[in-house]
Amino acid sequence: MPAGLLQQRVHLASRSPRRRELLAQIGVAFDTISFRSSPREDAAVDETPLPGEDPRHYVERLARSKAAHGCELVRRRRLLPQPVLAADTTLELAGELIGKPADADDACRILQRLSGRSHRVLTAVAVAWEGRIELAVSDSEVRFRLLDDGEIRRYVASGEPLDKAGAYGIQGRAGMFVEYLAGSYSGVMGLPLCETAQLLKRCGCLP
């Protein structure tokens, strides 16, 4: 096996192509667990925030729930037993949680609110294995330059923001909106590589 590859494969409980790309980037061998419905429609991983829920608690709760649900799917589908990795990302702006936009109009409204302001991006990563769940959280600050309505509309029309927390993907066209970032670039993408690698090491999945 080439140096740097993971000795034990993991199950990735995520639909995100970005998380697949990031895991592959650090040499993690994985199999994807497909949820049969969107997390918005699956009661086991309901993404609705609890009343007054703190952003950090929210992403930790969702990451844990997705990892636990992934373990249940492994058992139910009789898949090969191996660690389950899950993650969740959310934005916090002026104390308010901002998740994925409901539609294009909602995406425009979110981007108008982010324009010229700083926000936090929190991503929690959870690994479930042998009856326990290990967790790590990335907390980054991102500031957008002022955006005009035309570029917001053009960006939303591209379709890129519709499945992303905060209605943007920093690795895509929205990279030109970001004038400042403090924290983890990969965490803003949806999977903080430093924290993920350390978590996998703690769970005995990485050398």
For the annotated catalytic residues, the residue numbers are 88
Q: By the 8 A CB rule, do 87 and 123 touch?
A: yes
Q: Angle at CA 76, nearest 5°, toward 75 and 81?
A: 25
Cβ partners under 8 Å of residue 68, min gap 6:
128, 133
Cβ partners under 8 Å of residue 130, min gap 6:
none
With b meaning 16 or more CB within 10 Å and e meaning fewer, what string describes 78-116?
A: eeeebbbbbbbbbbbbeeebbbbbeeeeebbebbebbbe
The two beta strands, 10-12 and 30-32, are parallel
DSSP state for residue 45 in the 8-state scheme: G
How far apart CA 70 and CA 86 sit, in angstroms, is: 8
How far apart CA 41 and CA 15 sit, in angstroms, is: 14
